[in-house]
Amino acid sequence: MSTDSIALGQPTVGEEELAAVAEVFRSGWLAGAGPACRRFEERFAQVTGTSHALTTANCGSALFLGLKVLGVEPGDEVIVGDYTFPATGHAVVQAGATPVFADIRPDVFSADPAHVESLITPKTVGILVVDVAGQPGDFDEYRAIADKHGLWLFEDAACAAGATYRTRPAGSLADLAAFSFHGRKGITAGEGGALVSDREDLIAHARKLHTYGIEPAISREGSNTLPIPEFHELGYNFRMSDVQAAIMNVQLDRLPDLLAARRSVAKRYHEAFADVDALTVPVELSDREHPWQAYLLTVAPEVSRDTLALRVREQGVQCNFGTYASHLQPIYGPQAPLPVSADAFARQLAIPMHANLTDAEVTRVGEVVRQAVQSLS
């Protein structure tokens, strides 16, 4: 076994991020929703092609806040793309509604528009779809369905910073979009998230809710009076700290280079596995730009994905399953079968994907995976 492990995911951070954090330390404002957060919000709204952005503690809190300001209530049903980390479905449950999971396309694993529409009932209030591994789903079709049935549309863009759909940036494709800045994402502060929209009313309401139900303290800076906020509704502490926001401002500067590095790795992987019959490489649709938050191979049914993963790990290459078929998770109770999502859950393998991979590491990953597949075929 090799002693030099190749990481599945890894952030790209350095002296620039440290300098930005030091500047925040000197400012004295380390708490949430401060000047660094406001700077990042302005810049991230531009990157996502939206008018308004709100920094949050993580993507889960952004999803929850979005559902709350959209008016989700107990008894409502929300259609959710099934192939995703269960934070998506959890947010619906936390908001008091019922997630109704939609099966996925077999090529890019985003929600199948035809199945989405088939799930609409009188209880349905909205559609929450996921940019799987960062690649946006079929948003023109989703929008047509939502408009036809009088529903809202929410984009779980957790992995999608820098992605596009028909030239439009991820984040601008729905009424609201939520992003993650977790350590494995394309840009990261270790944790953190954002909620973006063109609707000022939704973001303004979410801004109050994410600070216990009042405007953040920065809104009262410089007042000539002593404003005392009043609490009119239950809120939460879902703020991003200014330390994290300082890091995110530098990460935004890095974004073009980080995307280019990931796309280069994806191209090398495509070439490495093109002639391996037991592996199907991920599809990048021609009308989209994939940010490659993850690289998900699909393993042929006759090869054990789990055994393959263990063989690859034995050679010092980190790997994991792709993501979850949410409807199979016990927390949601009995669900209708979703065969395409269940099949992807059983057969997908995530291999190292990040902007720090060297050419030698990419070559080694390709060789290790190929040899492991051959040993099992």
Question: Per residue in 117-152, pLDDT tens?
Answer: 999 999 999 999 999 999 999 999 999 999 999 999
If you write DSSP's letter for every residue of 97-160 in order, what string do you get? -EEEEE-B-TTT-SB-HHHHHHT--TTEEEEEEE-GGG----HHHHHHHHHHHT-EEEEE-TT-
Higher-confidence residue: 272 or 2? 272
Distance CA 210, CA 221 (A): 18
Whether 1 has a pLDDT exceeding 50, the answer reads no
- Helix, strand counts (H, E) of the chain: 11, 14
Instruction: Give rounded-to-5 percent helix, strand, coil for the chain.
Output: 40, 20, 40
Q: How confident is the model at residue 281 (pLDDT cuts 50, 70, 90)?
A: very high
Asked whether the predicted pLDDT for residue 269 surpasses 90, the reply is: yes
pLDDT at 2 over 70: no
CA 343 from chain centre, in angstroms, equals 21
Residue whose C-alpha is closest to residue 156's, from 248, 107, 90 = 90
Assigned token pair, 247: 């890091």
208: part of which helix (H) or strand (E)?
helix 200-209
Look up 185 and say whether it is catalytic.
yes
Q: Among 259, 362, 377, 271, which residue's Cα sits nearest to residue 317?
A: 362
For residue 49, what is the DSSP state?
Answer: T
HSE-CB for 192 with a 13 A CA cutoff = 27
pLDDT, tens digit (0-9, with 9 covering 90-100), for 315-352: 999 999 999 999 999 999 999 999 999 999 999 999 99
Q: Read off the tokens for 3.
A: 């002693």
Residue 3 confidence class, pLDDT cut points 50, 70, 90:
low
**Sign of the C-alpha dihedral computed for residues 88, 90, 94 and 95 taken in this order:** positive
Tokens of 261: 């590095």
Average of per-residue pLDDT values in the chain: 96
Q: What 3-state class would DSSP assign to 127?
A: strand
- Alpha-carbon dihedral angle through residues 44, 239, 290, 43, given to the nearest 10 degrees: 10
What gap in Å lies between CA 285 and CA 139, rounded to an integer?
13
> Which position has the token pair 């047509």?
144
Over residues 91-105, the pLDDT tens digits come to 999 999 999 999 999
For the chain, the residue count is 377
Of 17, 72, 342, which Cα lies nearest the Cα of 183? 17
Whole-structure pTM over 0.75, yes or no?
Answer: yes
Which amino acid is located at 58 in the chain? Answer: N
Tokens of 223: 């007042």
User: pLDDT tier at 227 (50, 70, 90 boundaries)?
Assistant: confident
pLDDT in tens, 33-78: 999 999 999 999 999 999 999 999 999 999 999 999 999 999 999 9
**What DSSP string describes 313-328?**
HHTTB--EE---BGGG
Q: What is the DSSP letter of 239?
A: P
Residue 220 clears pLDDT 80, i.e. is over it? no
Residue of 68, 123, 148, 185 marked active site: 185
Helix, strand or coil, per DSSP, at residue 350: strand
Residue 373 exposed, middle or buried by CB count within 10 Å (0-12, 13-18, 19+): buried
Taking alpha carbons only, the member of 290, 261, 269 closest to residue 356 is 261
| 199 has a pLDDT exceeding 50 | yes
Query: Mean pLDDT throughout 157-177?
Result: 98
Give the end-to-end CA distance of the chain in Å, rounded to a whole number. Answer: 21
* Domains of the chain, residue spans: 15-252, 255-376
Assign a CATH topology to domain 15-252.
Aspartate Aminotransferase; domain 2 (3.40.640)
Q: Which CATH number fits domain 255-376: 2.40.50.100, 3.80.30.20, 3.60.20.10, 3.90.1150.10?
A: 3.90.1150.10
